[in-house]
Amino acid sequence: MSSLAPFTNEPVLELRRAPVREGLEAALAELDASLPLDVPVLVGGERGAAAGLQSTDPGMPSRLVAEAGRAGEDEVEAAVEAAGQGFRDWSARSAQERAGVLVAAAGILREGRPRLAALAVRECAKPWSEADGDVCEAIDFLEYYARAAIELDRGPELLQVPGERNSMRYRPRGVAAVISPWNFPLAIPAGMTAAALAAGNAVVLKPAEQAPACALALVEALHSAGVPPAALALVPGLGDAGAALVSHPGVHVIAFTGSGAVGLEIVRAAADTPDGQLHVKRVVAEMGGKNCVIVDADADLDEAVPAIVGSAFAYAGQKCSAAARVLAHEAVYESLVERLAGAVEVQEVGQASRFATDVPPVIEQEARERVEGYAAAVARSGRIAARAASVPAEGWFCPPTLACDLDPGAPVLREEVFGPLLTVEPVESVEAACEVVDSLPFALTGGLLSRSPATVEAVARRSPVGNLYVNRAITGAMVGRQPFGGNRRSGIGAKAGGPDYLLQFVEPHVLTENTVRHGLVVE
């Protein structure tokens, strides 16, 4: 396993090819015939009843996708206890053996790729290109962290002097609680879970309540590949299950992706160290964003418009990296608004299962009401420059919306909307745009559209965001190519899919030995 080939990203499907589309449609038809799926609480290999939680199709809420068990404090207690036992077995395996298991799990996902993409289409209303990309990213995380585990096991080089031997090795921390979101229902839980397992930890996975079936597919692949049942538990549930995991003294690491409000509460709760808990919990949290795209006066608008529209409205703006706010130089502001408006008005809003769909439904009714509330506020205090002409009657659809002429203090300019709503503002210079970005509490992704190398260098030097994209869309980070993660209130911890990520799941241990012996023990 140490001779693994260098990591390469899993290639996405070419949806322009008819046989590819036909294969995906067949997978969807086969999945539909098996709905609803049963998703049990899985603890130590024991399956609990699949009851108490339901996931439905956001594009057709009457369609039940999965019946899931609802874990509570008792199930979380059992899962953490079992994981503590499973940790002993899993952590004792070599890094090469753990890597082999992750690579095997990647192969299982690869083999089941059409069905997994279809499941993301149904359970989370991801359009086909987004759903396939989600599966590819899950495979990438497994492959990438498998190789990272082997590299980590070698340990770093330390300074050596005569008469002394120094070495540093990394050991797993223990039980990792993984709390994952619904917007990347396979990729994000795969990344956090694979990293923890690669480093030798046991995992209790609590997926988003909207996507339990996708999480089960991941867990079953890992179990089939060789992860001991006790070392990986699945506890579908609501917020109380996540809170019980965070506060449990048997948890050593918490890996979370989700909203800023929940992330900050996790940080506060994890800081509590009761008597009897011998460790301080490590928190890895990827939270929200209010991502700005700066458009300079010299930008090529033919490239800017599709990059901005794709960043703002792909998957209905439900990516933490999605573009939410455009800061356009006043010299191109009017022209840019006009061209963006034209592009927004022709966005195809429809079911995720249609290959022509640009903008699918949002995840649930509450999300639609939140986005529509922001749109209504914009209509009262600013100007709606464009909205898609129509949306389907059934499902949680929000028309993609472009807003401008807003009051500088409007909440929509600072708060995360997480939906298909984009604002545009004029700025007198790139420097002024940087001032706006610098005033925000979020610092996840950002974009710059400019032809000036000097401007690119200046913005890159100043921008607080974790990922800055120049002259391209600001979503779609690739494992190993664009390690992903934010700063400020957008996240804490090393970037996912990057060389430092596994370090968060281990403890370093240094051994220093005096090698000048005065005689040897006879054995």
Catalytically active residues, by annotation: 286, 320
Helix axes 430-438, 453-462, angle to 10 degrees: 20
DSSP state of 15: T
| Cβ atoms < 10 Å from Cβ of 267 | 17
CA 175 to CA 81: how far, in whole Å?
9
Coil, strand, or helix at residue 260? Answer: helix
CA 341 to chain CA centroid, Å, is 29
Nearest partner of 155 among 144, 170, 166, judged by Cα = 170
Q: Is it true that the peptide bond before 229 is cis, omega within 30 degrees of 0?
A: no
Contact 266, 258 (CB under 8 A): no
CA 160 to CA 165: how far, in whole Å?
6
Coil, strand, or helix at residue 276? Answer: coil
CA 429 to CA 295: how far, in whole Å?
9
Contact 502, 149 (CB under 8 A): yes
CA 214 to CA 184: how far, in whole Å?
10
Contact 352, 59 (CB under 8 A): yes
